């Protein structure tokens, strides 16, 4: 299933900047960056629970915001993209 993760982490303090890095690193472990604070993650239900748990343990509810959009298994029909394309396909093989 496709999950879109977007976040807004306060960076007014060094701890906020650290949280921002941790949120981005966690999202990178599960998906691809679509925009600066938006990730597209294809995960199974168990991976989704792990991702959500990790992110909810990083962010600070009083200062930060997390949003999760569930596009499901048929996400290709629900996603339209216009403009600058980085030619990223989340289902392409990913080589480190």
For residue 26, the domain's CATH number is: 3.30.70.240
Per-residue pLDDT at 67: 95
Helices (H), the chain: 14-28, 45-58
21 in a structural domain: yes
Q: Which residues pair with 2 in a beta bridge?
A: 42, 72
Instruction: Tally the domains of the chain.
Output: 1
Q: Which domain holds residue 12?
A: 2-75
What the block records as the tokens of 31 is: 């998906």
Q: What are the strands of the beta sheet with 38-42, ordered from one edge?
A: 31-35, 38-42, 2-8, 65-72
pLDDT tens readout for residues 41-93? 999 999 999 999 999 999 999 999 999 998 877 766 666 656 666 555 555 55
What the block records as the tokens of 87 is: 């030619």
Per-residue pLDDT at 84: 67
Per-residue pLDDT at 73: 72
Q: Does the structure show a pLDDT above 60 at 28?
A: yes
For residues 75 and 1, the answer to whether their CB atoms sit within 8 Å is yes
Q: Is the pTM of this model over 0.75?
A: yes
For residues 23 and 55, the answer to whether their CB atoms sit within 8 Å is yes
19 in a structural domain: yes
CA distance 27 to 81: 20
């Amino acid at each position: 299933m496709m999950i879109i993760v977007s976040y807004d982490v306060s960076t007014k303090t060094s701890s906020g900047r650290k949280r921002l890095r941790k949120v981005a690193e966690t999202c990178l472990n599960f998906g691809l960056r679509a925009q600066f604070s938006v990730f597209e993650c294809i995960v199974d239900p168990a991976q989704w629970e792990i991702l959500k748990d990790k992110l909810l343990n990083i962010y600070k509810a009083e200062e930060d915001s997390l949003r999760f959009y569930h596009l499901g298994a048929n996400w290709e029909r629900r996603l339209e993209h216009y403009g600058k394309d980085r030619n990223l396909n989340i289902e392409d093989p990913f080589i480190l």
